Amino acid sequence: EDQVTQSPEALRLQEGESSSLNCSYTVSGLRGLFWYRQDPGKGPEFLFTLYSAGEEKEKERLKATLTKKESFLHITAPKPEDSATYLCAVLDYGGSQGNLIFGKGTKLSVKP
Amino acid sequence: DTAVSQTPKYLVTQMGNDKSIKCEQNLGHDTMYWYKQDSKKFLKIMFSYNNKELIINETVPNRFSPKSPDKAHLNLHINSLELGDSAVYFCASSQDRPGGHRNEQFFGPGTRLTVL
């Protein structure tokens, strides 16, 4: 069965303290790994798509990387406005009819 | 210039009632989805339509019935509401089918359904 596990569940950082969020997955055939940001009371906001191991993408203070088993979302010198829940999702066209399988998210809090 | 919109944002109703949630996207996308996010914030696919055709129908009670009048709209009708239906429901859209190349999904703001 497809699984997506995110860790940690919650992360508290001081402003400027860099860190990484982890998303590990087990799928029969990865067709894409997606990162989303979700603010309280809002819908998930698309951040990145990664398709193959070794691929990296960056956006402002965020950098997403992908290996064959996991993805990392690196946050460099975070600011309070980066506080949100970060969701990882995988697309496994082979085993799940093309559904996005979401992890439970990592809730990030950045204190000034 | 809202991309994916949903109405209503909040819905409070009694057990046993029938209710509908509407979704519209102005992105010109071909595929639309309904997701349920439970109290533990876990987001799970319910349905997907591509060009008005049902392509994903996960194991949800048949009290839930999606309807797509055109490819820009996907509504969700729920019959005989139960306490366990309380959740946030999100609509989303993507250019292609999930297995396609342009499969990034863009989400609406959500509808918080509370069944009393």
Question: pLDDT digits over B33-67, tens only?
Answer: 999 998 887 899 998 888 888 877 777 889 999 99
* B37 contacts: CB under 8 Å, gap ≥ 6: B43, B44, B87, B88, B89, B90, B110
Q: What is the pLDDT of residues B1-32, one digit of tens each?
A: 679 999 999 999 999 999 999 999 999 999 99
Task: Give the chain B residue whose CA is nearest to the CA of A100.
Answer: B45
What per-residue confidence (pLDDT) applies to A76?
97
Quote the CA–CA distance of B1 and B19 in Å, as a whole number.
Answer: 27
Set of chain A residues whose Cβ sits within 8 Å of the Cβ of B42: 102, 104
| Bridge partner residues of B88 (DSSP) | B37, B112
What per-residue confidence (pLDDT) applies to B1?
65
What per-residue confidence (pLDDT) applies to A110?
97
- Tracing tokens 């914030």 back to the chain, one arrives at B41
| Among B5, B48, B59, B105, the residue to mutate for chain A (most A Cβ within 10 A) | B105
Q: What is the pLDDT of residues A52-100, one digit of tens each?
A: 999 999 999 999 999 989 999 999 999 999 999 999 999 876 655 667 8
Q: Are the Cβ atoms of A98 and B90 closer than 8 angstroms?
A: no
Amino acid at B5: S
Quote the CA–CA distance of B14 and B80 in Å, as a whole number.
Answer: 9
Set of chain A residues whose Cβ sits within 8 Å of the Cβ of B56: 97-99
The pair of structure tokens assigned to A99 is 């559904």
What per-residue confidence (pLDDT) applies to A95?
53
